[in-house]
Structure 1
Amino acid sequence: MAPWIPRMHLFEIDDQPWFPDFLRALVQDALTHVWKTRMPLQVLAPAHHAADVLIRQFGDTLSEYTIIDFCAGGGGPTPFIERNINGHLRSRGAAPVRFVLTDLHPNIHSWDKIARKNPLITYEREGVDASAAPEHLVHRDDGKKTLRLFNLAFHHFDDPLATAILRDTVETSQGFVIFELQDRSLASAMSNLILGIGVILAAPLYAWKWRSLATLIFCWLIPILPFVIVFDGYISSLRTRTPEEVEALLRSCGADTSEWEMSSGDERHLWPCGYLSWIVCKPVSRT
């Protein structure tokens, strides 16, 4: 179905250099919990759906890849995805998949905690430009293929940058996956409003869990956190591309994409209006 409004690349508050780092960290933490927390009206958390998509699309061939999370923020759903995928692979006697967290602005504090709990997750300490990924990152010493992962991230790139990222991906990697929790639809607008209300209601729980008085202050006393999440959520929806729009950028990126094929879909994670949108693109297997 065609989106109900044209794509607009407007600004998000969380992207701005003047937005305080400690508030940005709170926003990233909140979005991480959106990925992995199963609310009362959810059968599965979004991260669980994301892992299921990867398992369905790649099967046991996931063992052939190293999955690199570009624009990882605070870590997002990657630890949850790693546990689900590798649990599935171990049950089938297949080798596990390693994950690498990267970002233009690395969140070392959060990533270090994740890596200590998850031996199959590592991270890059230096900033990584997804349009010019460093050689050591995409050409693995262990002979593994590279699969690029964009969790709630690809909509942040304007068309020239997105095109450059796709060109670099085709030239140096063996596939990419895009997950988004929003699109340009009325259902997405409703879901975003529910998210804002949920952030306000859950503030005392997470303030206690994280030992963070700032979470409570900036959710209830000065409600910057829910405002930014809802505002940026609507802007993210306007920025999010359809699969057809992503494919148009891919085919015009300047690299040879004749052997690459794309599939896409939606998984409902929150009744009645919350959907995980996904795009998987990789070279066609020739036998």
Structure 2
Amino acid sequence: MAPWVPRMHVFEIDDQPWFPNFLRAKVQAALTRAWTTSVPFFQTGSPAQLAARVLASHLGSRVRSYVYIDFCAGAGGPTPSIEKHLNGSLSSSPNPHHPKSYADAAAAGTPAQDLSDKPVQFVLTDLHPHPEDWAVAARESPNISYEAGSVDAADVPPGLVGRYKKEGKKVMRLFSLAFHHFDDPLARAILKNTVETSDAFAIFELQERNIASFFTLIAFGIGCFALAPYFAWKWRSPVTIIFTYLIPILPFVLVFDGWMSALRTRTPDEVEALLRTCGAEGGEEELSRWRVRSGREMFFWPTGNLNWIICERR
């Protein structure tokens, strides 16, 4: 069902150049915690764990054939946690659909090298890179690497994608809590570049254009007030206390930007409409090969849903 509210490309405070960088870092850290934290009684797992489960279940035996490149990684976001949960599930619970022989691989159309049990690889990139933060994630996991230079998702350097294709891998682009930031012309340009250079993309959003998101974000704001002392102690950051309780900028920005993000979030049909009109080389014949699947999984009872879109070239 289409939302009652039309999509609006409204502004978010965290996107504005005048918003102080030291506060932006705290906002991004809080969003990462929203991805990676599981609240007892309200959640059976974190949203990042749920995203990993979606990739594993909906890609099946193809999950190992991809390298996953996050094109809007920010300071790291949920990708390190998604990597941990996805590779953990692959190593502990082998996929029953995974081909057991080269004959099975050929019959399934799966590259022979995917028969290995090697962990899947994730790459962090961004238009505004955070190499120091990414280096920490890369040290903590051998399955994470990063591009230290700026990477434009609408004009990706051929070598970035090409190096993995030379290794026999396909490339899936990840947009976690990011795709709603692009206006329609930029979104089309990014999808055009994706169709022309990559093999799949996945979009994960923690909000949608409905009343349920409104209440979920209020709960998020309450959680910020409740957990601020813990994170101030963990981060050794009195700034967190000051701008949560004395001058409550952080909870205000997180809730306000969350509501604006909900208004900017596209439905799967709206994303597919942009895909079909992106003007990629090969025209309608090429675009007809791309299959769009979508769904939602509850990550916070009773109103919070992880909305996902996975699109692969057939």
3-state SS in 1 of match to 2:287: coil
Residue type at the aligned position of 1:221: L
Helix, strand or coil at the partner of 1:195: helix
Q: What are the within-5 Å matches in structure 2 for residues 37-48 of structure 1?
A: 37-40=37-40, 41-48=42-49
Question: Residue 65 of structure 1: CA displacement?
Answer: 1.1
Q: Distance in 2 between matches of 1:58 and 1:152?
A: 20
**Structure 1 residue 128 and structure 2 residue 151: aligned?**
yes
Q: Is the aligned partner of 1:21 residue 2:21?
A: yes
Matched, 1:154 2:179: yes
Distance 2:89 2:212 in 1: 32
Q: 1:265 aligns with which of 287, 295, 298?
A: 295
Aligned to 2:34: 34
Distance 1:217 1:266 in 2: 36
Deviation at 1:17, TM superposition (A): 1.1
Give the Å deviation of 1:157: 0.1
Task: Please give the residue correspondences for 1:1-287 in structure 2 after superposition, counting only pairs within 5 Å.
Answer: 1-40=1-40, 41-91=42-92, 92=94, 94-139=117-162, 140=164, 141-255=166-280, 256-284=286-314
Distance 1:261 1:195 in 2: 34
CA distance in 2, matches of 1:127, 1:228: 26
d(CA) in 2 for partners of 1:97, 1:66: 7
What letter matches 2:292 in structure 1?
Answer: M
Calculate percent identity across the aligned residue pairs: 59
Corresponding residue SS for 1:194:
helix
Give 5+ residue unaligned stretches, structure 2: 95-115, 281-285
User: Could you tell me how far apart the structure 1 residues matched to 2:261 and 2:211 are?
Assistant: 13
The residue matched to 1:112 in structure 2 has which SS? helix
Query: Following the alignment from structure 2 to structure 1, what is the Cα–Cα distance between the partners of residues 202 and 135?
Result: 24
Separation in 2 of the partners of 1:10 and 1:182? Answer: 15
Larger CA deviation: 54-63 vs 242-251: 54-63
Deviation at 1:173, TM superposition (A): 0.2
**Structure 1 residue 108, shift from structure 2 partner:** 2.1
**Distance (whole Å) between structure 1 residues aligned to residue 138 and residue 202 of structure 2:** 22
> May I ask how many residue pairs the two structures share in their alignment?
284
2:79 maps to a residue whose letter is T
| Residue 237 (structure 1) shift | 0.3
Task: Find the structure with the greater CA-based Rg.
Answer: 2
- Per the alignment, residue 107 of structure 2 pairs with none
Give how far 1:271 is off: 0.8
Question: 1:89, 1:95 within 8 Å by CA — same for their partners in 2?
Answer: no
Give the superposition deviation at 1:89: 2.3
Structure 1 partner of 2:109: none
Q: Which amino acid aligns with 1:44?
A: G
State the secondary structure of the residue aligned to 1:147.
strand
Partner letter of residue 169 of structure 1? T
The alpha-carbon deviation at position 64 of structure 1 amounts to: 1.3
How far does the alpha carbon of each residue in 1:201-243 deviate from its partner, in whole angstroms, 9 at most, with x for none? 1100001111111111111111111111111101000000000
Identify the range of structure 1 (61-70 vs 83-92) with the bigger mean alpha-carbon deviation.
83-92
